[in-house]
Structure formats: structure tokens, C-alpha cells
């Protein structure tokens, strides 16, 4: 996510934090210290409220982190790759691969809300216990507030609308019931769009009536609509690519260039004559060594293009997506690394480059599917006038 920085690791998974998290902590602490705690436990000093509200806000963010950690741990135990976990103002997000079965998808989705519900119940119970032992005080009030916040988070996430966890659960159940993954994804995405629009409308009306929290609700609804729409589009692409092999989509032959060329020579001798915006590089032995993008070449100042080798600004082969012609294209695209060389896909055969698959190639297949053509037709070869076709 743009605007996030890596702050460490969570159970071996990179943990990232968006700039909006400190803002959220301040807002939570302000509301807890200026409104909730003075109403529940009046008569304390401002310093007591300030310290308690800061602790409560940090504990709530820690519980959000545990919610996402549950998704990540469950996914890894079920054999699903996990890219990273990001905390931001609207909660958390775990980037991972697509589960292979409906059962795996169900358990990965349900693990987060269950964790929040367990934390919520434990915190409320602890608050009641502290109250019974020491009387109603600030620590008991913070624990009860934390508990109810987690219970609300767990219940809200179980609503049957993607990208909420409840939408993922419904998607998994529909997948299991129908056997059609893409159909289940489209249904969950549609419910997410409808629910998000309803949240935007309700939140905006609430805000106009003087409730500041309505604006927050509208932002969450807007986020749901955007993500749900993206997931519906992805489901449509996966349907179009069902059964399509990498070789059906690849462009071949493809323009390549030597990785030892200077950036200036590469632009003049290769990039200027290529019809692709991404070009594979070859080493001295003719083996692929990476990919360079036109936008990367353009970012090199003109006066420095003869001082840099093209391999110095390229994406190395270790970060590129590599496939064979017989691989299923949908599976290859799922495994493409989002932060590295996800596209294009280099199509290899025993260490030699056969071709590439670019986003343009994938879009073309999707458009052909919308026209009722399931695979790209072979390109015809013109015959001489009077010859036999």
C-alpha cells in the first residue's frame, strides 16, 4: 500500500504501517480520554485519563494486529503464501496468495473475526473481574472499552460483504456449494458493492445530522466499493483465462538486448525498435538476465545514459516472473510478485527465452473472451499473389 513503511516482522511475515496509523491512535486516544473515560469514571485527573487513553488506543491497535496475524498464520499453515501485513486507518490488510480450496479459503477468512471475538470476550471478562476485585476504576473501564471494540470489530467483519471477512466466508461457502470459484467471487464482490454504497449513504446522512462518525463510516463504505469492484473485475479476468496456457498468450519472437549495453545504446538499438514497453535482457552467453521497462529507461537523465549499463537499471531475473509455455496462465498471474517483476512474464524453455506475456497480451485475451473467442486465433501468414493459401 502506498504511504506505508516496513516496521518489522510478524511471525516471519513483513509488517508494514501506513502513515494514517499514528493519526488513528491519536483520534482513538482523544475520544477515549475526553469522552468515554470521564463519563464512565468521573473525578480523575487529566493526566490519568491521558495515560489510560493512550494505553487503550495502543492495545486496540495491537488487537487489530492480532486479527491480521490470525489470517497470516492460518494461511501459512494451509500452504498459502503471505506477502505482508499492513496496518492502516481502516484496520488491517494481509496480502496473500489465493487459497487452493474452498475449505482453506473458509478457515483463512474466519480466523480473523474469531480472534477479535475471543479478544473481546477476554477483555470484557477481565474488566468485569478487575471491577469485582478492586471496584470500578479506570483500568476496568479501559478493558471493557477494549473488549466491546473488539466484539464490534469481530461482528462487523462477519457481515456478508467482500472485502470484509464475512464476504470471504460467504464466497468460500458458495465456492464449495457450486464448485465455481469465479462465480462465488463475483457474488461476494456484488454484495460488497451494495453494502458499501449503503454505508456511504447512511454515513453521509448521519454526518449531515451532526454525527462526525458518519464521515468515517462513509470512508469505510467507499473503500469497500472500490475493493469489491476490483475483485469482481479480477474474477471476470480469471473466468476469461480459465484453461488458457501461457503459450496461448505469449508474444514471440520478442526484441531482446544485451545487458552490457549502455542505457543510451540500448535505447537507440533495441527500445526504439521494439513494440513492447518491457524488454528482456540477455547476458554474454545468451541467457535471460532480467527485464527493463521503458519508464525505467526514461527515468535515467540523458547526460548519464552512457555512464550506466542497462542491467544496472533493470529488474534482475531473480525478481522476474518465470513460466513455461504449458503452465496455466491464471496460476502464473496469481504467483506474480506484486512488488517486483510481476509483469511481464518471461516464458522459458530449458533456460532459453521463448517469449513474454505482457499486460497487453492478457487484456487482449480478456477482450477476445468478451467477443466469444475463448483462445487467441493463430495469426495468418500472407501468401504471394496467385499463391496457394
Can you name the residues that pair with 87 across neighbouring β-strands?
17, 92
**38-56 burial string, b = 16+ CB within 10 Å, else e?**
eebbeeeeeeebbebbbbb
Distance CA 69, CA 92 (A): 10
Task: Please report, for residues 248, 255, 308, the alpha-carbon distance to residue 378 in angstroms, rounded to integers and kept in the order given.
Answer: 9, 20, 40
Beta strands in 64-136 (DSSP E): 82-88, 91-96
DSSP assignment of 280-339: EEE-TTS-EEEEEEHHHHHTS-GGGTTTSBGGGTSEEGGGEEEE-TTSBHHHHHHHS-TT
Q: How far apart are CA 9 and CA 177, in angstroms?
A: 37
Q: Which helix (H) or strand (E) holds 264?
A: helix 263-269
Q: Which of 68, 182, 185, 231 is catalytic?
A: 68
Give yes or no: 68 in active site. Answer: yes
Pairing of strands 315-316, 288-293: antiparallel
Half-sphere exposure of residue 229, counting CA atoms within 13 Å on the CB side? 10
**Strands of 320-323's sheet in order across:** 320-323, 341-349, 352-357
How do the residues of the chain divide into helix, strand and coil, expressed in percent and rounded to 5?
55, 15, 25
Q: Could you list the active site residues?
A: 68
Amino acid at each position: 500500500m502506498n504511504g506505508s513503511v516496513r516496521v518489522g516482522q510478524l511471525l516471519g511475515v513483513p509488517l508494514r504501517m501506513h502513515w494514517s496509523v499514528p493519526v488513528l491512535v491519536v483520534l482513538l486516544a482523544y475520544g477515549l480520554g475526553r469522552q468515554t473515560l470521564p463519563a464512565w469514571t468521573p473525578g480523575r485527573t487529566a493526566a490519568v485519563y491521558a495515560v489510560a487513553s493512550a494505553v487503550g488506543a495502543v492495545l486496540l491497535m495491537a488487537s487489530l494486529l492480532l486479527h491480521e496475524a490470525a489470517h497470516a498464520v492460518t494461511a501459512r499453515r494451509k500452504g498459502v503464501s503471505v506477502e505482508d501485513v499492513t496496518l492502516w486507518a481502516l484496520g488491517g490488510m494481509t496480502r496473500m496468495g489465493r487459497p487452493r480450496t474452498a475449505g482453506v479459503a473458509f478457515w483463512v477468512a474466519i480466523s480473523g473475526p474469531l480472534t477479535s471475538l475471543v479478544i473481546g470476550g477476554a477483555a470484557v471478562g477481565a474488566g468485569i473481574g478487575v471491577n469485582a476485585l478492586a471496584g470500578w476504576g479506570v483500568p476496568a473501564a479501559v478493558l471493557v472499552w477494549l473488549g466491546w471494540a473488539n466484539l464490534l470489530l469481530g461482528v462487523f467483519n462477519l457481515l456478508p460483504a467482500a472485502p470484509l471477512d464475512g464476504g470471504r466466508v460467504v464466497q468460500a461457502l458458495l465456492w464449495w456449494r457450486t464448485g465455481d470459484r469465479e462465480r462465488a467471487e463475483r457474488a461476494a464482490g456484488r454484495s460488497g458493492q451494495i453494502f458499501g454504497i449503503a454505508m456511504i449513504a447512511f454515513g453521509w446522512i448521519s454526518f449531515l445530522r451532526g454525527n462526525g462518525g458518519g464521515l468515517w463510516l462513509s470512508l469505510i463504505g467507499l473503500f469497500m466499493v472500490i475493493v469489491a469492484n476490483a475483485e469482481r473485475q479480477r474474477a471476470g479476468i480469471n473466468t476469461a483465462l480459465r484453461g488458457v496456457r501461457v503459450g496461448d498468450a505469449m508474444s514471440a519472437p520478442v526484441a531482446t538486448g544485451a545487458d552490457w549495453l549502455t542505457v543510451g545504446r540500448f535505447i537507440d538499438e533495441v527500445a526504439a525498435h521494439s513494440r513492447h514497453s518491457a524488454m528482456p535482457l540477455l547476458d554474454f552467453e545468451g541467457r535471460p538476465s532480467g527485464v527493463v521497462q521503458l519508464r525505467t529507461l526514461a527515468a535515467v537523465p540523458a547526460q548519464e545514459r552512457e555512464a550506466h549499463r542497462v542491467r544496472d537499471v533493470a529488474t534482475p531475473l531473480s525478481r522476474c516472473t518465470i513460466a513455461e509455455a504449458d503452465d496455466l496462465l491464471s496460476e502464473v498471474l496469481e504467483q506474480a510478485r506484486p512488488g517486483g517483476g510481476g509483469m511481464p512474464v518471461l516464458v522459458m524453455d530449458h533456460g532459453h527465452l521463448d517469449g513474454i506475456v505482457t499486460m497487453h497480451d492478457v487484456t487482449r485475451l480478456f477482450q477476445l473472451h468478451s467477443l466469444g473467442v475463448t483462445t487467441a486465433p493463430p495469426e495468418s501468414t500472407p501468401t504471394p499473389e496467385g499463391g496457394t493459401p
